[in-house]
Structure formats: structure tokens, C-alpha cells
Amino acid sequence: MSDGTSVLSPAALWRRLGLAHHNWPGRFTVLLLTIMLLLVTQPMFSGHDYAQNFATVAMSLVLLAALWAFRSARFYFAFALVLFVPSFGSRVALFFTSSPAIEELGAITSCLFLAVTVIALVTRLFIVTSVTLDTISAAICAYLLTAIAFAYAFAVVELQNPASFSVTLFQKSSSHIAPLMASLHNFIYYSFVCLTTTGFGDIAPISGGARTLSVLESVFGQLYVAILIARLVSLEVAQSMMKER
């Protein structure tokens, strides 16, 4: 019985895949899984009666996973926790009342929380000396969270200045679902278009704030790939050369 258990244990499975102990999934891999859950569920449950529930749960998991990933970094943890309270609280409040002010508060605090997390991730990636599976997960997390953070920033611009985009990103929903919760996937979609500089042309920024954010995100996306990913590749090459000696 014990032999069968050991064969099916996570350690044995990862050894069968050829991954050493330092390449086992870690806290940033967990964070990456929660981000993927958010990105998949947002468009999947769009227009569903429980869309707000799914959006709240998915985003809350991302925020909690980020706090857990940086639990040992006291400054980040304290600062992020201050932003987590209104971000999570506003989502709970939207179950009882639909208020643009509460939506805006939730969007701003979520944007700031994710921005702080991205800064913490990028800072960590610049000080690592070896590349592991968790390091790669952290790099992917920073990239994806940047898009989600800008998505909330675009939502704030649209809330303050309606018709900031060529199409209406806030879709109509049933009265008990907050507009931002029902339409977050639209802002995430536009944000990824800017981050990757895909430029489909179906959505265009019109207001000054929307254009400024679009330019900043596009520039960040290009610099991120050019600088940070290049650093990780160079570390991996140096790491491989040291092993061959």
C-alpha cells in the first residue's frame, strides 16, 4: 500500500516528468493557476445569472494567492493587505446594491493591488540568480496581471468618462448584476490587445485618458518581453554553461 502511495505521490509524479526538486510547482505557480481561472471564467460565464458570483470568487482567489505568494515580504504584504480590504469589500457590497461609486472604488483598489503585485514580481525576477519552473510562472504572472490591472484602469476611465472607447464596453445585464462584473471580460480583452500590440481595430480609444493608458500598456508590453524575458533566457544559458563545466 505504501509503495503504491509513493508511486502516485506528487514527488514521484514530478520525478517521472524529469523535473528536479527545485522545479516543483511553488507559490507563483499557484498564483498563475488562479489567474488562468479568472481569464477563463470571465468570458465563459458572461451574461449568466451567476456571472457576478464567478467574477467575485475568481478575482478574490487571485488576490489571496498574491498575498500568500508574498507573505514573507512584510512591506508588500502590509501595503497589499490595505488595498485588499476595500477591493474585496466592494465586491461583497455589490451583491446588495449596484452603485457606480462602489464599482469605481473596487476597480481602483483592484488596479492598485495588481500594480503593486506586478512591481513585486518584476523586482523579484531581477534579483533571482537561477531559473526554475516557479521563476517562469512568476514572469508569466507579472505579464498577465499587468493586463488585468490595465483592464481595471480602463474600466475606471469609462466609469468617469463614458464613451471613452469607440464601442460600449459596458454590456447590458440583469438588474442584480453590477455592470463592471458583467463586462470585465470586455476590458480584459481590450487590455490584452494593447499589451500584445495586436491591434485588431474593433475597439479604439477616444478620450485622452483611454489613449494615454493604451500607449503606456503597449510600451510596457514591448519592454517587458525585450528586457525581462531576455534576462531570464540569459540566466538559463549561464546556468546551463555552469552545469557543463
pLDDT at 19 over 80: no
pLDDT at 94 over 60: yes
| Confidence at residue 51, expressed as pLDDT on a 0 to 100 scale | 73
pLDDT at 1 over 50: no
Three cell numbers at 194?
A: 494593447
Rounded mean pLDDT, 73-98: 88
Each residue's pLDDT tens digit, 97-113: 778 889 999 999 999 99
User: What is the CA angle 36-38-42, rounded to 5?
Assistant: 125
Rounded mean pLDDT, 62-81: 91
Rounded mean pLDDT, 75-85: 91
Domains of the chain: 24-244 (1.10.287.70)
**Alpha-helical runs (H) found in the chain:** 2-7, 10-16, 27-44, 51-69, 74-93, 100-127, 133-160, 179-195, 208-223, 230-244
pLDDT at 238 over 60: yes
Higher-pLDDT residue of 242, 235 = 235
Query: What does the alpha-carbon distance between residue 227 and residue 233 come to, in Å, rounded to a whole number?
Result: 10
| Confidence at residue 193, expressed as pLDDT on a 0 to 100 scale | 96
136 and 147 Cβ atoms separated by less than 8 Å: no
pLDDT at 6 over 90: no
Three cell numbers at 223?
A: 519592454
80 and 113 Cβ atoms separated by less than 8 Å: yes
Mean pLDDT is highest, among 19-28, 48-57, 119-128, for 119-128
pLDDT at 86 over 70: yes
Amino acid, single-letter form, for residue 198: T
Categorize the per-residue pLDDT at 10 as very low, low, confident or very high, splitting at 50, 70 and 90.
low
Query: What does the alpha-carbon distance between residue 145 and residue 192 come to, in Å, rounded to a whole number?
Result: 10
Length of the chain: 245
Each residue's pLDDT tens digit, 170-210: 876 655 677 888 788 999 999 999 999 998 989 999 999 99
Three cell numbers at 218?
A: 503597449
205 forms beta bridges with 165
